[in-house]
Chains A and B, each alone.
Chain A
């Protein structure tokens, strides 16, 4: 158990080091970072002085060490556009992104659970065929297309929900549905297949032989075990939704981290890009780590391996 956790921690650390390399190296991908940050009217001498002041003339390994040293303290420098601390700008938008991600997860899980269960119980029925078809469709739908469709239908045609922006709980519905639809389809399929696997297990057959009611068999015995892989998927999904929120945030003008990151890329505001990339990647890694550890409690077979 201890070795398992230590190994996972080591892997997570390695990934974070990789992230820091990518995040640091990104500013050099488009050439000389100093030339991005100065006005076009500056002379070569002014640019050279600026490069020296910013430390871009030092060996890259020294610059990288400096970057990591500051990053672990949450210091990514100040935004080139607003002069405000880059990390602070990202953290300001984090609640909006987390809110959207959680809402999308809630939407996808709450619907997927009953739909997936009924689909498994009524295997090969017309209902099951329909649900399987619908989930394939939902997985294939591009977020930007679905988002625009939802806006036109509920926001413009029916005028029952706000088109874009953040404020009331109504503002959350369309972006959450748009972001959560792919997850909804995946969860439904996983719950269905996971439950089907479990329903063929010996302990379920025994329960049936004992004469227990079908509802009790499914909810008490089968579902609990079927949910183990689902928990893993939900953990991974949280991270994926967090990253996938970029498109949804742009379509619905949602003031989250993804949109900030995209704007900062366009504005070449690399301290903010670095802060956003590092933070999102760190959350991704930490959530995965948490899921891995949680898994050992849910399924003792893992920690015994």
Chain B
């Protein structure tokens, strides 16, 4: 080998180095032709924690599992609850649910779905080994000693108290195969779920991909796609790159910062939807001066949320009026009104006596911390920071401090949150669950807000079966919560998805992507 060859190798290697440093630009993507035979590729943020239906908590895993196992009732794309594995049902009295199952529904194992599987599923939620997210809701509502199975297709449930939302509360309770649960090992249950859904797991490489394959023996309407591949890609920029490269059809949790980049590509589009997640700043109502309702209202008036939506979220988002999804359309949200905020604070005795820009309460300047998550909710830390600036401008000196979720959840459980805290809680779209978030006994409610009117009306709502009467009560409760303001009401989080134009897909408010509703664009 001569010195010249050495030199050539050296120059070549140096050129590679230069190549690595070269600036890159992102161009338009040419989409391959739409084809239902090609796998639908969905880029998600996290790997499934398990496929055992009794243990799943993460929404991204539900997104997969709900095509393998199915529920008694399920929400359609308009969030209306519809019977699914149940063909019909009746409620002979306020404490009884009589469910008639569909006939001829087969598990992927070949066995037919029987009423005994439903009974087993309900009882299995109480198996402490699984720490099922449904343990509490089932145990508090259903009389577990009295589940009747008069024939193979009928299940009769008795509730301990009137439970108008029983089926909606158990929205995330997939029916499992009793036979599989009694014969399979824990590892098999975690990796090879047996269900009545249209897909089975064809291949699962942990942290790399999950491929679902359609099965011909499915009882219902067949989805268009033969195979669906979910790719867990934790880095949002890499997910975006897979979309730009034309490798992914749908990308979850698109960063609002990347919306313009996706929109500028003619082959791609951004799908947004106002989800059900309540995002708010909780106010610890036992901390002075937040014990005074006027101060809490002032905080709501002091915040320019429309400015935040415009500047941070590309104009997406609307200010939330109150807690539920239902009556918030009838209630008008708080508006940005610094004068009104100042007036309310003055009335409450929170006054800037020494004119240093910070208001005082009982002679001491009001200086507080606003705790926030970082990266758990859309633009969480940035929204919190803007809100802190607005509050400081109103004379409440506020420092936003961001925490990792694992630390933050400890602070929630240990009741160690600062006087103001950022949080986002999901919805069941039933107009009732969200009220728990401000109810005094709810574990995740750190506000320590106590309002007798609210507690009384909420208890009444939980016992009311008539839909009209429920509507009136929901309106009333929303009004109470808005007026007494245990939160700074921020928004119902808008979710951002990136999609390739070769697929027809509309984002759902419940953060699920049901493959039944996704089609090749040509169709």
Contacts and interface: CB of A to CB of B under 8 A. Distances in A.
B196 to A, nearest CB: 23
Contact of A253 (B29, B235, B413): B235
Interface in A42-70: none
A118 B14 CA distance: 11
B468 interface: no
Contacts of A89: 206
A73 interface: no
A61 B234 CA distance: 38
Contact of B233 (A30, A131, A159, A164): A164
Interface string A119-134: 1011000010011001
Interface in B390-407: 405-407
A252 interface: yes
Most buried by A among B10, B23, B234, B235: B10
Task: Say what secondary structure dominates the interface of chain A.
Answer: helix
B14 A130 contact: yes
Nearest to A149: B24
A222 to B, nearest CB: 13
Contacts, number: 164
Contact of A114 (B6, B247, B410): B6
Contacts of B187: 83-84
Contact of B207 (A118, A127, A157, A260): A260
Interface in B1-17: 1-3, 6-7, 9-11, 13-14, 16-17
Interface in B247-295: 247
B25 interface: yes
B208 A215 contact: no
Contacts of A122: 7
Given A118-B7, A265-B406, A266-B406, A250 B235 contact: yes
A247 to B, nearest CB: 9
A263 B26 contact: no
A260 B208 CA distance: 11
B245 A156 contact: yes
B14 A30 contact: no
Contacts of A134: 14, 17-18
A127 B443 contact: no
B20 A255 contact: no
B127 interface: no
A89 B49 CA distance: 12
A106 to B, nearest CB: 14
Interface in B174-214: 186-187, 190, 205-209
A215 B24 CA distance: 40
Nearest to A46: B128
Contacts of A84: 186-187, 190
Interface stretch (B236-244, B296-304, B308-316): B236-244
A84 B185 CA distance: 11
Interface of B: 1-3, 6-7, 9-11, 13-14, 16-18, 20-27, 29, 46-47, 49-50, 52, 55, 131, 133, 135-136, 186-187, 190, 205-209, 231-235, 237-238, 241-242, 244-247, 405-407, 410, 413-414, 443-444
14 contacts: A40-B413, A41-B136, A82-B50, A114-B9, A127-B7, A127-B14, A150-B20, A151-B241, A159-B245, A162-B247, A250-B235, A255-B205, A266-B405, A266-B406
